[in-house]
Amino acid sequence: MVSYRKRGNVWQYEISYKDQFGKYKKLRKSGFQHKSEAILAASQIQIEHPNLSSAKSSEEPLVSYYKRWIVIFKKNVVSKITY
């Protein structure tokens, strides 16, 4: 996933990806005068390194994710009435 942000007077791109061991990493570069330059540079990085698998959101619906999350992290931690 690529994100862009303005830092002072220059633009930065940040590419989030998983490495070969499954750890999340970020690749950043700053110093672009225009956002379009940052977009172009990030696109070129993704073309040159096709093995960068971007971290994408899951295909799981939010409702089922939340039900699974609340059972794992909250069921035995909060009171019964809160749960």
For 36, the domain range is: 2-56
- The verdict on residue 82 lying in a domain is no
Find out whether 54 and 45 touch, Cβ atoms under 8 Å: no
Residue 71 lies in a domain: no
In a domain, 63, yes or no: no
| The pLDDT value given to residue 4 | 95
Q: Give, for all 83 residues of the chain, the pLDDT tens digit.
A: 889 999 999 999 999 888 878 788 899 999 999 999 999 999 998 888 877 755 555 677 889 888 988 888 888 888 888 88
Look at residue 76 and tell me if it is in a domain. Answer: no
Tokens of 18: 């998983």
Q: Residue 56: what pLDDT?
A: 57
User: How are beta strands 24-32 and 10-18 bridged, if at all?
Assistant: antiparallel
Query: Quick check: is 77 in a domain?
Result: no
> How many domains would you assign to the chain?
1
Is residue 74 one of the residues assigned to a domain? no
